[in-house]
Structure 1
Amino acid sequence: MIGIVGIGIIFVMVFGGYILAGGKLGIILKSLPFELMMIGGAAVGAFLISNDMSSVKHTLKDVGKVFKGPKWKPEDYKDLLCLLFELIRLVRQNPVAIEEHIEAPAESSIFSKYPKILSEGEAIGMICDTMRSASMNYDDPHQVEEVLDKRAEANLHHALHSSHALQTMADGLPALGIVAAVLGVIKTMGSIDQPPEILGKMIGGALVGTFLGVFLAYGLVGPFAAKVKAVVEEDRHFYNLIREVLIANLHNHSTNICIEVGRQNTPQQCRPTFADLEDALKATKQEAA
């Protein structure tokens, strides 16, 4: 919602100020379709050249994050802590019993309680792979931590590709606006024998290209790239929480301490209070019993 409000403010302030200052929209509106075709078309073409099809699809999908915001909400962090509590508690009580859950999470009675987390392949993969490694006596916390760090770094690099692609487009738009403006000047020079009032309108139309390139770059595409990056980085906290809890488990801390480590590493705006989490964990224990 705030993204839509921001876009509305940009258009109202820029064009509203122009109109209040005595500017006429006629020249802009007349030139806009052609300038947009040249600038926007060239930007899209350059985007397609510099990215493969999977990256293009990924970027188009990630544009929705500008309006949707982070995927993981406060209740999801609480659910994640409860899920990890159940898994760690089970593996401490019966190491063999955990295998059916981590080998087939889609059929697990524990994972199925948390459908949103279950639908996220990356999160489930981190949990199952790390617990599987621990069950194979690959339990050196420092080795596992290094593996998880490399995995998180690779996932973050992939997730930020959309932001980088949009920022690259934003960086090129002002130059493409100049290209469109130069073409407009060339067109004007070809009509140099026309009266001044006609030449003035033609020059004004050419300058729309420069305006449009800069406006799209710094008013829309650039902020879109920044927002996508911010959302991706905020969602990364969810996976960092998994890492912290599982590493604490490998250090043989008590189950409650492991979960408290995760709670403390939850972003403040999404962090459940100690009392709320304690109530949720008690409910989980009673349901398991």
Structure 2
Amino acid sequence: MSKLVGLLIILASVFGGYVWAGGALSALWQPAEILIIMGAGVGALIIANPQSVLKEMFEQLKELFNKGKEDPELYPQLFPLMGTLMAQIQSQGLKVLDEHLENPHQSSIFLMYPAVLNHPNVLQFLIDNLRVQSIGKISPHDLEHILEEEIHRIEEDRLRPSEAFSKVGEAMPGFGILAAVLGIIITMSNIDGPITMIGVKVAAALVGTFIGIFACYCFFDPMSKALEHLVDRKSAQLRCIAAILVTFSKGKPPMMAIDAGRKQIQSENRPSFIELERWMEGQRS
């Protein structure tokens, strides 16, 4: 919702100020210029990026506009789930989780925490790394290194749509100049026409430059930053799980491990320790 509000503010400020200064909106409506600039931008985006990046970009944009904020039920269910899993490991060992990890959507443990099941990336990360630990003994240091490398690789993959948006945004002023040059070529080919017509064609050519700059700084660059923040928020979910697993592997109590995970969450989404205790008490009751 905030993204749409921001977009409306941009449109109202730029075009409202233009009209206030005496400009005519009809002069900015140049379909040919828009086609040249946006078509070139979309084409460059498709050429420069594999299909997997374009698909991930679409998914991230959909999540950005449909949700935008952290799922309020994720952490209140993730922490109690981790507490339950660690209690099982303490009492019966890692092997007891095999049946639950094999099919979490039919697991009596995981079914108690539907919000976690609704986040496939979080669920997959947790299951994969519990399986790695169950295969053989891994030192806390090695486990920490493995998890850091995995999160780093996941972040790199998830940031590719943001980087693609940024690159296209940087090129938009150039595409605007391209459209303007084509407009000037058309103008020069009609240089013997009426002076008023020449003025109209020059104005149309300049609109191309405006559209390129507007698209860069008012759409592509802000959207690139918004996608970065989305990736950072999703990475915090994985860092939270990693911190819990590493701290628990060092022999620390489950509650201390869970608090280590809590500290990895971004400040705007991080619960206080009192809230965390309340969530865990709700699990025990």
TM-score relative to the length of structure 2: 0.94
Which position in structure 2 is the counterpart of 1:105? 104
Which position in structure 2 is the counterpart of 1:50? 48
Distance 1:185 1:80 in 2: 60
1:129–1:56 Cα change, 3 Å: closer
Distance 2:63 2:98 in 1: 36
User: 8 Å contact 1:238–1:266 — kept in the other structure?
Assistant: yes
Which position in structure 2 is the counterpart of 1:171? 170
Runs (4+) of structure 1 exceeding 6 A deviation are none
Which position in structure 1 is the counterpart of 2:3? 3
The equivalences for 1:174-253 within 5 A come to 174-253=173-252
* TM superposition shift of 1:139: 2.5
Which position in structure 1 is the counterpart of 2:75? 77
* TM superposition shift of 1:136: 3.2
Which position in structure 1 is the counterpart of 2:89? 91
Which position in structure 2 is the counterpart of 1:25? 25
User: 8 Å contact 1:39–1:213 — kept in the other structure?
Assistant: yes
* TM superposition shift of 1:71: 5.6
TM-score relative to the length of structure 1: 0.93
Q: Which amino acid aligns with 2:19?
A: I
Q: Secondary structure at the match of 2:96?
A: coil
* TM superposition shift of 1:195: 1.8
User: 8 Å contact 2:177–2:208 — kept in the other structure?
Assistant: yes
Q: Secondary structure at the match of 1:97?
A: helix
Q: Which amino acid aligns with 1:40?
A: M
Q: Percent identity?
A: 32
Structure 1: gaps spanning 5 or more residues: none
Q: Secondary structure at the match of 1:63?
A: helix
* TM superposition shift of 1:74: 4.0
Distance 1:156 1:71 in 2: 19
Structure 2: gaps spanning 5 or more residues: none
Q: Secondary structure at the match of 2:138?
A: coil
Distance 1:263 1:55 in 2: 31
User: 8 Å contact 2:77–2:115 — kept in the other structure?
Assistant: no
* TM superposition shift of 1:258: 1.0
Q: Which amino acid aligns with 2:81?
A: L
User: 8 Å contact 1:185–1:206 — kept in the other structure?
Assistant: yes
Distance 2:227 2:66 in 1: 10
Which position in structure 1 is the counterpart of 2:270? 271
User: 8 Å contact 1:70–1:235 — kept in the other structure?
Assistant: no
Q: Which amino acid aligns with 1:242?
A: I
Deviates most, 214-223 or 107-116: 107-116
Q: Secondary structure at the match of 1:23?
A: coil
Q: Deviations over 1:220-279 (max 9, x none)?
A: 111111111111112211110000000011001011111122223322222223233223
Which position in structure 2 is the counterpart of 1:61? 59
**Higher relative contact order (CA closer than 8 Å, sequence separation 6+):** 1
